[in-house]
Amino acid sequence: MLNLNLKAKNVLLRPRITEKAALSADKNNTYVFEVASKATKSSIAASVRAAYKVIPVKVRVANIPDKAVFIRGKKGVKRGGKKAYVYLKKGDKIELL
C-alpha cells in the first residue's frame, strides 16, 4: 500500500452481492468488492490477502458514476464509488456469507 493512509481493513468496504457477481464467482472465480475511492490495485490485493488469506492473481478496478435520482418530488444525487474485481486461482475460494 504505497503512499496511502489507508489501513488494510479500510480498503474493502463490502462485497458487492449481485446476480452478475454471484455468477462470475461460480464460473470465473472472480469476486467483486466495493472499495475506498482512493484505493489502488496493490492496496486492494494486500487487503484481500490480509482479510481472506488468499492471494489474488489479478485485480481490476472500475469507477461507479454518480446517478441522478428523483424521490418524493425532490431531485438528488446517488453517490457512486469504486468497485474492484478480484481474480483468484482455480482452487482458491472466498466465503462471503
CATH architecture, domain 8-87: 2-Layer Sandwich (3.30)
Q: Provide the CA 97 distance to its chain's centre, in angstroms.
A: 15
Predicted TM-score (pTM) of the model is 0.84
Q: Is the pLDDT of residue 3 over 60?
A: no
Map out the domains of the chain as residue ranges.
8-87
38-50: per-residue pLDDT in tens? 999 999 999 999 9
CA dihedral defined by 75, 37, 57, 50, rounded to 10 degrees? -120
Q: Provide the CA 58 distance to its chain's centre, in angstroms.
A: 13
Residue 96 pLDDT class (50, 70, 90 cuts):
confident
